[in-house]
Amino acid sequence: MKKHNLVSRLELVNITKQYPGCLANDNISITLMPGEIHALLGENGAGKSTLVKTIYGVVAPDKGDIIWDGKEVNIKSPSIARDLGIGMVFQHFSLFETLTVSQNIELCLSKTQLNKIGDLAARITQLSEEYGLNVNPSRYVHSLSIGERQRVEIMRCLVQSVKLLILDEPTSVLTPQEVSGLFGVLRTLSEEGCSILFISHKLHEVTEICHKATILRGGKVVETCVPNEETPASIAKMMVGDLAEQDAGYAKREGTKRAFNVENLSLPAKQPFGTSLKNINFELKSGEILGIAGVAGNGQDELMAIISGEDERNVKNSLSLGSLDIGHLHAGERRKLGMAYVPEERLGRGAVPDMSLTENTLLTHSDGFVKKGLVEWQSIKEYTSALIAKYKVKCHGEFSEAKSLSGGNLQKFIMGREIGQSPQVLICAHPTWGVDVGAALAIHQALLELRDQGAAILLISEDIDELFLLADRMAAVCDGHLSPVVRTEATNIDQIGQWMAGTFINNSSLHTQEAKA
Amino acid sequence: MIRIQARTEPSSLMKVASPLLAIVLTLIFGCILFSAIGKSPSQALHVLLIAPLADSYNIGEMFVKMGPLLLCAVGLSLCYRANMWNIGAEGQLLAGALGGSAMALYFIDSESAFALPITLLAGVASGMIWAAIPTFLKLRFNSNLILTTIMFNYIALYLLIWAVHGPLRDPQGFGFPESAMFADSTLLPTLFESSRIHLGVAFSVVSAFIAWFILSKSHLGFQIRVFGSDEPAARYAGFSSKKLSWFVMLFAGALAGLAGVSETTGPIGQLVPNVSPGYGYSAIIVAYLGRLHPLGAILAAVFMAVLYMGGDLAQIEMGIPVAVVSMFQGVLLFFLLACDFFINNRLTLSNQATN
């Protein structure tokens, strides 16, 4: 980091934001110098996104001042933020898939900005070369990989000569190779004096790239540190507060007999921009966790839907549970045979938002609670209370509506509900996505316990560290193809990363994702 | 400046207040309407809403109208809870009237104790068949249920008209398009000496309680509720949408069919072309006014029946055209949907300072 001058780029002074029932930001003060890469860390609900939205003009603070380049400013809207030179890349991209890259970028520029730039496509190409972004202005967004789309979002900020770039969990959707590419871009930007505010859950990334870190807990700044003087473990402790247990290495197991099998599964995509599954074969054994890595949108959702039966197409002879063919059975029948699922989407799919936890228990767990077609509400209530206690789900009680729970707590509830049915096969997608450190640990341990009881677990995740931590065997998906399955001990992040980018596919016609060096 | 802002969570107050607010707004609209056509608003509202409840005869007639409205609305509430947009209660009611009447005419010389139950069952079965065809078309060919059920309303109406002009016409009826009067053995008994309140009205109230029991106590009812409130969750849980669709549609068809056969074997006593003054359509409004809750439908059906009665009285006593009732119904639904908007949204006053 070069200090270009002594005037700070951005200074937040005593920012306070009260939401009904929750003090999201409590007297937060942060200073960012030009060229500084600053990490904003904290568990879910610590107040990171509220703070970032305040800077970007989406949320108005109740109290506090924002000082930009030494002058007090009132950022009333995102357009004012953009005029000042603040750019933001959200976790969920806001690009139109049916438009080209340059059309997408043009959409968010004002007339005067466009006039100033002149030839937009040329400017994009020039910036692309300058920063190594590898963005072709004339390509359609739907043909881009997730990593490329993220670079388009960054490009959108660069075109407007950004002085502060805010990135909300930018690496959660990237392959390891893409991550190192992104970090290269960020370092170049930093050297040119652009400040970067970097929100992440992945602590080793923070220690790798960030100059400073601010840790939030319960809406307050609890600590400021220089990340490369810390370890991921010590930062995690600051985030969680007490001396929380850390995920350590877990023993790997060998599965026993075959529990679930997928054979020659090929399936055209249902949606226009969905992914077709191409000749997928794998075997899942009792007592093992099989991890499937992959960048989002490479067929994981489609695979999960066809295995669970939510995709109702008949795939007889392609799926079997034990020795039983189940490809033609509907989702309810597959559940009855001993399959359970933890979906990626917790609220709205894994749980009904407007229903109580008791009712949400009944959603998938009706065994023993329904006699002659009638529901025994009293016994479900008792069972749900026990479930809440066992998995330490934070809520008012079994009568709480699912939507009143935080993401991590709801996930613990769903996980507990599915595990409580002692499934033979559990399919689990992104179990700890957006979940705080404490809840993630509880979820990991619950999965391992289930494995040790002899269940077969298919773990689909974008978090490659989590897969290496939990999975006994691993594979990767890319564009609907499944890589070979290997024992976790026999592989490494590099190999899985390359598989995620599709290097295992021997097909020249295939579009592979360019991993930036 | 007034702005519309999405609420962070639906207002539970507005869920209850919305139908009441809609009724008040409809009445205000009524006052303006009556003034415009030169009638006294206070007198008109009195005739429309108070007079129907003023004496025991009128109250009895009000219940006679409530019966078919409630039977149809209970079935529709379940359908709408399960996202099955059945607009076909009218056709299912007419089918029930037609099928039931055909059976009643078969028993025209019978004094068997089984004549009435079999007649009612014929009506119920006809209503179910009429609901089954669009359901099959939807599940098999993914046809639009709203369109097919509306089409089947017309088919049922013209089938019924054809029947009273043809095979079911009373041979001694001087060519009037009506069936013969049914035998006593196939007429629904009345519940009280002095009024026309018949067994069908009791059926309707019982059906509301049965539907409430199904929704709140049974696993099937739970699945219907999940389907209505969160379809992806229902698919994730593996609930069979086919099974639920069949259940709610056949249930609604059975109740609407019962409503139809209860009309012909109850207050009417024969098959006539105008069995229903649009009960099956009004029941849609009743279902929504009752918040798709079977017990809420009872209150809403009473209100709608009062409006029907009041419309008749207003025509007799004040010369107000009976079309006013349809207009009131339409305006009521309009205001109800408008008020429901504020369950999930609210108005906020904003200026630059508060932003």
Domains of chain B, by residue range, sit at: 65-341
Residue B205: what pLDDT?
96
Find chain A residues with C-beta within 8 A of B233's C-beta: 348-352, 363
Tell me the pLDDT of chain B averaged across its residues. 90
The predicted pLDDT at position A244 comes to 46
- Residue A1's pLDDT is 47
DSSP string, A367-423: TTTEETTEE-HHHHHHHHHHHHHHTT--SS-TTSBGGGS-HHHHHHHHHHHHHTT--
Per the structure block, which two tokens stand in for B48? Answer: 């429309």
Higher pLDDT, B314 or A169: B314
- 3-state SS, residue A29: strand
Q: How far apart are CA A381 and CA A404, in angstroms?
A: 18
Please state whether B175 falls in left (phi above 0), alpha (psi between -120 and 50) or beta. left
Residue A379 structure tokens: 């016994």
B111-129 pLDDT, tens digit each: 889 999 999 999 999 999 9
Percentage of chain A beyond pLDDT 70 is: 92
Query: What's residue A242's pLDDT?
Result: 53
Compute the radius of gyration of chain B from its Cα atoms.
Answer: 22
Please state which of the ranges B43-52, B96-105, B255-264 shows the lowest mean pLDDT.
B43-52
Q: Tell me if B238 and A348 make a contact (CB, 8 A cut-off).
A: no
Determine the Cα–Cα distance for residues B349 and B346; give it in Å rounded to an integer: 10
Say whether A332 and B226 touch across the interface (CB within 8 A). Answer: no
Query: A511 and A143 in contact (C-beta within 8 Å)?
Result: yes
**Given an 8 Å threshold on Cβ–Cβ distance, is A355 in contact with B229?**
yes
Tokens of B19: 């139908």
- Mean pLDDT across B251-260: 97
User: Rounded to an integer, what distance in angstroms lies between the CA atom of residue A181 and that of residue A516?
Assistant: 5
The answer to whether the Cα torsion of A154, A462, A175, A193 is positive or negative is positive
Chain A CB contacts of B355 below 8 Å: 60, 76
pLDDT band at A240 (very low <50, low <70, confident <90, very high): low
Taking the Cβ of residue A375 and every Cβ of chain B, the question of whether any pair is shorter than 8 Å is answered with yes
Q: Is the pLDDT of residue B331 over 60?
A: yes
Residue A443 sits at φ, ψ, to 5 deg, of -65, -45
Instruction: Note the pLDDT of residue A369.
Output: 92
* Mean pLDDT (whole number) for A218-241: 78
Q: Tell me what pLDDT residue A509 has.
A: 38
pLDDT for res B307: 87
**Shortest distance, CA A502 to any CA of chain B (angstroms):** 30
Tokens of B324: 């006013």
Tens digits of residue pLDDT in B186-240 = 999 888 878 889 999 999 999 999 999 999 999 999 999 999 888 889 999 999 8
Quick check: A60 contacting B, CB < 8 Å? yes
Integer angstrom CA distances of residue A161 from A66, A210, B263: 20, 22, 76
Asked if the C-beta of A363 comes within 8 angstroms of chain B's C-beta atoms, the answer is yes
Tokens encoding B76: 């529709």
Task: Using alpha carbons, select from B91, B86, B151, B99 the residue that is nearest to residue B125.
Answer: B99
Write the ipTM: 0.81
Query: Taking CA atoms, what residue in A is nearest to B216?
Result: A375
List C-alpha distances in Å: B61 to B54, B267, B306: 11, 10, 9
- Is residue A90 scored above 90 in pLDDT? no
- Whether pLDDT at A4 is above 70: no
Q: What is the mean pLDDT of residues B242-257?
A: 96
Q: How far apart are CA A461 and CA A493, in angstroms?
A: 14
Rounded Cα distance between A331 and A339, Å, is: 9
Across residues B25-34, what is the average pLDDT? Answer: 90
Q: Is the CB of residue A279 less than 8 Å from the CB of residue A479?
A: no
- Residues B40, B164: Cα–Cα separation, whole Å: 41
Sheet of strand A22-32: strand arrangement: A22-32, A10-19, A63-68, A71-73
Of A309, A343, A403, the CB nearest to B238: A309
3-state secondary structure of B202: helix
Q: How far apart are CA A473 and CA A467, in angstroms?
A: 9
| Nearest chain B Cα distance for residue A75, angstroms | 11
- Which chain A positions have a beta carbon within 8 Å of B230's beta carbon? 348-349, 352-355
Q: Comparing A162-171, B140-149, B158-167, which segment has the lowest mean pLDDT?
A: A162-171
More confident residue, A271 or B310: B310
Res. B353 pLDDT band, cuts 50 70 90: very low
Task: Count the neighbouring beta carbons within 10 Å of the beta carbon of residue A77.
Answer: 13
Cα A99 to chain center, whole Å? 25
Which of A172 and B323 is assigned the larger pLDDT?
Answer: B323
**In the prediction, which pLDDT does A512 show?**
39
Q: Name the residue in chain B with its Cα closest to that of A77.
A: B355
Tell if the CB–CB gap between B355 and A60 is shorter than 8 Å. Answer: yes
Angle at which helices B115-141 and B145-165 cross, to 10°: 140
Mean per-residue pLDDT, A492-500:
83
Lowest average pLDDT, out of A451-455, A503-507, B220-224, goes to A503-507
Is B220 an 8 Å CB contact of chain A?
yes
* Minimum-distance CB partner of A349 among B218, B232, B239: B232
Whole-number pLDDT of residue A513: 40
Q: How many CB atoms lie within 10 A of CB B351?
A: 7
Q: Give the mean pLDDT of A68-97.
A: 85
Instruction: Tell me phi and psi for residue A346, to 5 degrees.
Output: -80, -55
Beta-bridge partners for A307: none
State the average pLDDT over residues A243-255. 66
Q: Which of B219, B240, B355 sits opposite A370 (nearest CB)?
A: B219
Which residues lie below 8 Å from residue B21, measured CB to CB, with a gap of 6+? B335, B339
Instruction: Kindly state the tokens that stand for A169.
Output: 């969990």
Residue in B218, B226, B230 closest to A374 by CB? B218
Residue A379 reports pLDDT greater than 60? yes
How far is CA A30 from each of CA A11, A52, A132, A217, rounded to the nearest angstrom? 6, 12, 31, 14
Neighbours of B353 (CB within 10 A): 5
CB contact under 8 A, B219 and A351: no
Interface contact A374-B219, CB threshold 8 A: yes
For chain A, give the mean pLDDT.
84
Q: Which of A129, A128, A106 is nearest to A118 (CA)?
A: A106
Q: Does A76 touch chain B (CB under 8 A)?
A: yes
Structure tokens at B330: 């339409």
Query: For chain B, what percent of residues have pLDDT higher than 90?
Result: 58
CA–CA separation, B326 and B277 (whole Å):
10
User: Of chain B residues 5-34, which have a CB less than 8 A from chain A?
Assistant: 9
**From CA A404, how far away is CA B303, in angstroms rounded?**
36
Distance CA B169, CA B175 (A): 8
Is A355 within 8 Å of B226 when comparing Cβ atoms? yes
> What is the pLDDT, as a whole number, of residue B351?
56
Confidence at A21, pLDDT banded by 50, 70, 90: low
Q: What tokens does A178 get?
A: 């893409």
Closest chain B residue by Cα to residue A58: B355
Q: What is the pLDDT of residue A425?
A: 94
User: Which residues in chain A have Cβ-Cβ distances shorter than 8 Å to B229?
Assistant: 352-355
Q: Give residue B349's pLDDT.
A: 72
Q: Which of residues 224-283 of B touch A (CB under 8 A)?
A: 225-226, 229-230, 232-233, 235-240
- Host H or E run for residue B286: helix B279-289
Chain B within 8 Å of A381 (Cβ-Cβ)? no
**A163-172, B57-66, B180-189: which range is least confident on average?**
A163-172
| B91-115 residue pLDDT tens | 999 999 999 999 999 999 888 899 9
Residue whose tokens read 């004094």: B111
Domains in chain A with CATH codes:
10-240 (3.40.50.300), 258-352+421-500 (3.40.50.300)
Is the distance from CB of B261 to CB of B123 less than 8 angstroms? yes
Mean pLDDT, rounded, for A182-211:
86
Contact A330 B233 (CB under 8 A): no
Greater confidence (A423 vs A504) lies with A423
- Separation in Å, CA of A196 to nearest CA in chain B: 28
Q: Which pLDDT score, from 0 to 100, does residue A323 have?
A: 86
Tell me which CATH code domain B65-341 carries: 1.10.3470
- Judged against a pLDDT cut of 80, whether residue A290 lies above it is answered with yes
Residue A44 has pLDDT above 70, yes or no: no
Which of B7, B236, B239, B244 is the mutation pick for testing A, counting most A CBs within 10 A?
A: B236
